[in-house]
Amino acid sequence: MSLCSMTDRQALIQPDRGQPATALHLVDKATLPDFLKGLNAGQRAALSAQKFEGGGYEHAIVPDGDAWFAVAGVANIDDLSSWCMAKLADVLPGGTYRRAGGEPGKALHGWITGQYRFDRYRKDAKDAEPRILLTKDVALIEPAIAEATAVLMVRDLVNTPAEDMGPLQLEAEARALAKRHHAEVHVVSGDALEHDYPMVHAVGRAAARSHAPRLIEMTWGDARHPRVAIVGKGVCFDSGGLDIKPSSGMALMKKDMGGAAHALALAGLIMTMGLKVRLHVLVPAVENAISGNAFRPGDILRSRAGLSVEITNTDAEGRLVLGDALTRATEMKPELVIDFATLTGAARVALGPDLPAMFARQCPTATQLLEAGRQLDDPCWQLPLHEGYREYLKSDVADLQNSPANGFAGASVAALFLDRFVGEGIDWVHFDTFAWRPVGKPGRPKGGDALGLRAAWGLLKARYG
């Protein structure tokens, strides 16, 4: 069960009208002793037999006459995170549940995402009986479902192999999203792409015709509202180009369109929740392939912005396609631009897989994002746009080079490259995200995942909600 449909997700969280449901008792280390006093000897023996000690993500089934209830450990019962009940949603039998003595609150998110499965290609896939959670906080249901829908969209898009999620399929996803929300889509390809978005065309021109490059543009909302641009790197597969990756480095490159997945999913969340913005979404969709007409190290590309770029490494292609897309975004004079990209290994070396690197021109925006990430259990970490590193982008033969050879501050230097294509004075945020979980956690299985999306949503909701 991939929970692809809105109907599936809506069924998982329902208003509590007193309907029959199995009780879920949450305890922490401090409250466990008092909880045990309220149980009979047989129930305490059942907990002991299951070695339940009230630790985080521990759970146990307790008999209660002809029925049963569940007990689960959390870090702090007075401050639930998004993930406190996620494991329960994965391991409990199908049925209807309610939290005893309180409401799920933020844990609604993990209840939905904890039931995600990507089984599109599994012959033995079976539909699991859903676990339904009740809540009296009915005002939280719609936003919880909308946020989970966005996260699961990222997972589905990233988990799908490149053969089935190339530029054409990304376009189809954008068109389907636009149709649901009465948005407009414009796609540039072929000769028009070569003329108007030359770096997007250069990176993608070596791909097969079925995976031909394109620039996907979507607009939505009242033109009188503040304009917000969301840009996502859509490299549907990255071989590294002529600077070819080793096989180990290529194994996960179906996820190199994770930025595009974040952008489309965030756009869907914005439109679903009716944010009062004029939305402008841009996805440069390409495959960085190898053939006789692949772009080369040493080539000098022109860009939509008029800057010339010396290619020193064809495996630093994401910043090229983003450069043209960011130029287009800033031509519309938005008050805020947010881009997402699986851009550098340097960000992963610095921060690991769980924390997306965040770069922001304006300090208040960075502060808002960090706080939104903390509140929504989607933490990010700010790295610097250090002016002193701009000199690393200097070229002897062009306006700038795409990949300095010194290896220093790779994530910051890549962000500074992008900064050259964003108009002056525009509030701009760049997420260098991994879009992947190498190790599963409750509510967050191994595979594609949204990292930074909910933080960005928190910022947008605070400003325009």
Does residue 125 surpass a pLDDT of 80? no
Q: Where are the domains of the chain?
A: 6-129, 146-464
When pLDDT is averaged across residues 158-180 and rounded to a whole number, the result is: 98
Distance of CA 404 to the CA centre of its chain: 28
Phi, psi of 137 (to 5 degrees): -80, 70
- Whether the CA torsion 101, 103, 108, 112 is positive or negative: it is positive
pLDDT at 453 exceeding the cut of 90: yes
Q: For position 4, what pLDDT does the model report?
A: 43
Q: How far is CA 91 from CA 114, 115, 128, 280, in A?
A: 9, 9, 11, 40
**CB of 134 closer than 8 Å to CB of 22:** no
Give the position of tokens 């631009």.
Answer: 337
Mean pLDDT computed over 361-378: 98
CATH 3.40.220.10 fits 6-129, yes or no: yes
Q: What is the pLDDT of residues 303-354, one digit of tens each?
A: 999 999 999 999 999 999 999 999 999 999 999 999 999 999 999 999 999 9
Residue 101 has pLDDT above 90, yes or no: yes
Report the C-alpha gap between 314 and 298 in whole angstroms.
9
Q: Give the separation between CA 194 and CA 389, rounded to whole angstroms.
A: 31
- What fold, for 146-464? Aminopeptidase (3.40.630)
Q: Pairing mode, if any, of strands 227-232 and 67-73?
A: unpaired
Alpha helix (H) residue ranges in 92-136: 108-113
**Are 6-129 and 146-464 in the same CATH fold?**
no
By annotation, the residues acting in catalysis are: 245, 319
CA 85 from centre of chain: 21
Residue 441 has pLDDT above 80, yes or no: yes
Residues 190-241 pLDDT 10s: 999 999 999 999 999 999 999 999 999 999 999 999 999 999 999 999 999 9
Task: Report residue 416 as tokens.
Answer: 């500074």
Is pTM beyond 0.95? Reply is: yes
Q: How confident is the model over 55-80, as pLDDT tens digits? A: 999 999 999 999 999 999 999 999 99
pLDDT for residue 94 is more than 70: yes
